[in-house]
Structure 1
Amino acid sequence: MDAPSIAIIGAGLGGIAAAIELKRSGHDDITILEKASDVGGVWRDNTYPGAACDVPSPFYSYSYEPNPRWPRRFSQQPAILGYISDVADTYDVRRHIRFGVEVTAARFDETTGRWTLELSNGETLDTDVLVHAVGQLSRPTTPAIPGRDTFAGESFHSARWDHDITLDGKRIAVIGTGASAIQFVPEIQPRAAHLDVYQRSAPYLLPRPDREFTELHHKVFKLLPATQLAERGTWYGLVESLSVAWVYSKPLAALVRRVSHAHMKRQAKDKPGLFEKVWPDYPIGCKRVLFANDYIPALAQPNTELITDGIREITPNGIITTDGTEHPTDVIIWGTGFKATEFLAPMKITGLGGRDLHEQWADGASAYYGMTVTGFPNMLIMYGPNTNTGGGSIIYFLEIQAAYLRDFVDAIASRGAPLTVKAVVERAYDQRIQKKLAGSVWSQCESWYRTASGRVTTNWPLLGIEYKREAKFDPTDYQAIPVKRHA
């Protein structure tokens, strides 16, 4: 095969990592299709007050592109988006991007051995290799609460923050207490006349060891790169220890739980009854543990109420809880997360023999090391099924996947035929992963890690270092697909 053409969907961290690795390997026929107007993915879309990463910046960055000028240890959204933009410029990625183009469907053509992509502007694009880099946290979700559409006030999802809406002096309802709400609630609480926070399930919180990086830090990091490498290595070890706790060590998990208990109880002491509401009732690690120093103090303020009763309905003027109380509301902010288990939706993806990917995934998405799917030749996924980390940095996983993609593309270029992972290989892998997940902490509560049927489709069940050791391209795992060319 001549140099294969490659189409990457998405210009976030995954798409950029894929493009950089391919370009390093000499592949330049790359088109990145991005539905938005700039790079950045979730860090472009999530602009809510206080938006920041819960992984320290020296580790939440590409290993080959350290940033000596991070403003904080846990950097906020503008700094992360700026970093992503700078990396795209440094590695000449923007040249390959078509902005404002959404892929609505993709079909593998067995007569040409290529993928045909249908674009939102009515065009089609043919490519040899299709790479999905749309992430797991790109499509916000809001629960179908009765009366939601009757609300007369203003409402928006935290991932689509409406900065034109004035919050000062308003009665605000925040529905959801996940990672985003933990960050924006302390930011909006001082502005609200009254703030109701509706909690279905409480998160475990740990102290957030944040700090500002001074100009001295920046100089040392730049002049002595080993110091930043040491910071990266230290945080890698610490966040990986969380994965050790969830996967291998119940005593370590118990220790983390005790630290969380002491931290949360100390912070809730100023408001009687608050700790009993915020302390979780499920095993630690079952949902992502969050780092926060200011969330519980915000809940303890006189103008804030944490509501743990369920929501019965939404009315034009407010929210009625299951106890019959109506809570007057001017603004509703949905902090209800993303459709993380609906991988690659809403694209229609058709593989060999007309098979539909979403029908094949009806019981929950699965892919070989999260990247390749039987019957969908020359298609790879970045941040696909079972590659989320319960404690570490997803960029670490993305770099591993980019290297796998590079080796895959090198292989099809030399073999001259499309490749699909063998069914027996993918099935054995999935059975092994699901067996480990079934006995893991992530199977012990409802969370965005699981489908409605209970299958855990998001998380990798082992350590990050084990993924790096295992997820290496092996040509014997794949079979060539004969191209049925027209006579």
Structure 2
Amino acid sequence: MSSTTTPSVVVIGAGFGGIGVACVLRRAGFTDITILEKADGIGGVWRDNTYPGAACDVPSSLYSYSFAPNRTWPRRYSEQPDILAYLRRTAEAEGVLHQVRFGTEVTGAWFDEGDGVWHVDLAGGETVTADVLIPAVGQLSRPIVPDLPGAATFAGPAFHSARWDHDVDLTGKRIAVVGTGASAIQFVPRIQPSAAQVTVFQRSAPYVIPKPDRAYRPWHHRMFTAVPASQQLGRGATFGIGELLTTALTAWLPLGRLADLIFRLHLRVQVPDAELRARLMPGYRIGCKRLLFSNDWYPALTQPNVDVVTGRITEITPAGVRTEDGRVHEADVLVYGTGFTATDFLAPMAIRGLGGRDLNDEWADGARAHLGIAVPGFPNMFLVYGPNTNLGGNSIIAMMEGQFGYIRDLVRLVAARPRSYVDVKRTAADRFDTEMRDRLGRSVWVGCESWYREENGRVTTNWPGLVREYRRRTARVDAAEYAVVGPRLRQGA
């Protein structure tokens, strides 16, 4: 540590979480920051997901940092290139872009109790040392490709939506799409018009409601610039609607029935065919899986060159996809829209804390962290977008900004005592974990299988309440929940 005010910080990941926490730390006077990014550019999911139609399902006024408003969003719900450009501009304007080391993959980290520092191991063999370690790798960074029999035998191109192969021309091709999640409902309508055939393999139907999108006009941009409060008003209203949606999906059943009615009307209006509508009707309560927003998903599925297949996939053949009825659905290209390993937090990195304890062992039955940020026995390590901080109906940026401020205050505790380390008390972490298990055990998310849950049924991704509650609970650090261990204590004095 160079001084009592500038502990060294290593951030893992240069997405919205990593860039955001670095910005907040710099604004607080902590400038000894290194951001380790395994890719060749910043952006996280917005760098990786370049599939046709990739866009955010949260309005841009809210899916952006409160300290860096953008007055020139092209749409209410912006698409991937504009979101990535915003993050790049912000990182440069805030002075953190030059602190990113690209092409630097972290393989693991271990805490040196004697010196009170983290040693971060890189893929090339180098080790970086820091007083504070901030993993900000997100929950949606590692794509899932299902282990289907015969997948390697497929004769044509095959790729995951998060690794879109833009060298493959889909014009006039027969395309098999496995999955009907948030990515598929965006790219299928874009590839359908030029494809010869699109066969969508659906394991379970999603709930899809209208997306109130619109293009912004020049007068919008002039108004946002001349009267910033007008954009702030829209941001506040969007936040309030998001909180209301969360309440509808998790707590207030009459409001949830209204959301269900909106879905049913949307489906009825956009899909006239009763047989197809039946295939597109979810078999679980609304909110149990991620609620999706689209105006063109259902119309795309009604087109003559699109087929929705609900039969279980038994194998991939060189010619296409075989389903349980024995039929082979021939395809030239195979696209997986099968999501991410959301519950594998920090994998495949090996993280070791006090006494060499392995984080994998700590999380053997599911990841947990106090407020989604601190893990007992892993001092001076503070997570961004950690366990139980994902949302079902609002902006994750609003959640992460609560974490940024909380982590800033924890770093201040570290800075106040040279070579000290800050470790959350197990009693505090266990109390929080018990609360999460109890509240989530009564939530809508335990009613079906989804990427929110571990194999043992535990929900490790989602926050059970409103963003407002989380922001209140992270507004200040309760010093009684943490042990600040100084060098003399470590030496047994």
| 1:116-140 alpha-carbon deviations (Å, 9 max, x no partner) | 0111121100110000010000000
Cα shift readout 1:208-253 (whole Å, capped 9, x = no counterpart): 1100001111101100111101111111111111111123200000
CA distance in 2, matches of 1:247, 1:284: 9
Residue by residue over 1:400-444, the C-alpha shift from the partner in whole angstroms, topping out at 9 and shown as x without a partner, is 100001000001111331011101110010000110000000111
* Aligned: 1:160 with 2:163: yes
Q: Give the CA deviation at 1:486.
A: 12
Structure 1 distance, partners of 2:389, 2:89, is 26
Shift, 1:24, TM fit: 1.0
The answer to whether residue 91 in structure 2 is matched with residue 84 in structure 1 is no
Amino acid at match of 1:479: A
Task: Select which of 477, 480, 483 maps to 1:479.
Answer: 483
Gaps of at least 5 residues in structure 1 are none
Matched AA of 2:299: P
What is the 5 A alignment of 1:79-118?
Answer: 79-118=82-121
**What root-mean-square deviation, in Å, do the aligned CA atoms of Structure 1 and Structure 2 show?**
1.3
**Secondary structure at the counterpart of residue 368 of structure 1:** coil
Q: Is the 8 A contact 1:34 1:101 kept in 2?
A: yes
1:17 matched to which residue of 2? 20
Is 1:462 matched with 2:465? Answer: yes
1:152-206 C-alpha deviation (Å, 9 max, x unpaired): 1110000010000111111100000000000000000112111100000111111
1:324-363 map, 5 Å: 324-363=326-365
CA shift for structure 1 position 307: 0.3
Q: Say which SS state the counterpart of residue 364 (structure 2) adopts.
A: coil
Match of 1:441 among 440, 444, 448: 444
**2:303 aligned with 1:301, yes or no?**
yes
Identity of aligned residues (%): 54
Please tell me whether residue 368 in structure 1 is matched to residue 374 in structure 2. Answer: no
1:131 aligns with 2:134: yes
Q: How many angstroms apart in 1 are the aligned matches of 2:74 and 2:81?
A: 10
Match of 2:48 among 45, 48, 58: 45
Which deviates more from structure 2 when the two are superposed, residues 470-479 or residues 325-334?
470-479
Are residue 450 (structure 1) and residue 425 (structure 2) matched? no
**What's the counterpart of residue 267 of structure 1?**
270
Unaligned runs of 5+ in 2: none
Separation in 2 of the partners of 1:474 and 1:125? 30
- Number of aligned residues: 486
Q: Does 2:78 correspond to 1:75?
A: yes
For the Cα contact (< 8 Å) 2:372–2:385, is it kept in 1? yes
Q: Is the 8 A contact 2:106 2:121 kept in 1?
A: yes
Distance 2:250 2:429 in 1: 23
Partners of 1:461 and 1:420 in 2: how far apart? 25
CA contact (8 A) 1:105 1:349 kept: yes
User: Normalization by structure 1: what TM-score?
Assistant: 0.98
Runs of 4+ in 1 over 4 A off after TM superposition: 482-487
Q: CA deviation at 1:60?
A: 0.6
Are 1:187 and 2:190 an aligned pair? yes
Distance 1:89 1:423 in 2: 39
Aligned equivalents of 1:256 and 1:329: distance in 2?
Answer: 36
Matched, 1:240 2:251: no
CA displacement at 1:480 relative to structure 2: 2.7
SS at match of 1:380: coil
- Which amino acid is 2:328 matched to? E
Normalized against structure 2, the TM-score is what? 0.97
- 2:311–2:324 Cα contact (<8 Å) kept: yes
Counterpart CA distance in 2 for 1:75 and 1:183 is 13
Give the residue type in structure 2 aligned to 1:176: G
The alignment partner of 2:448 has SS state of coil
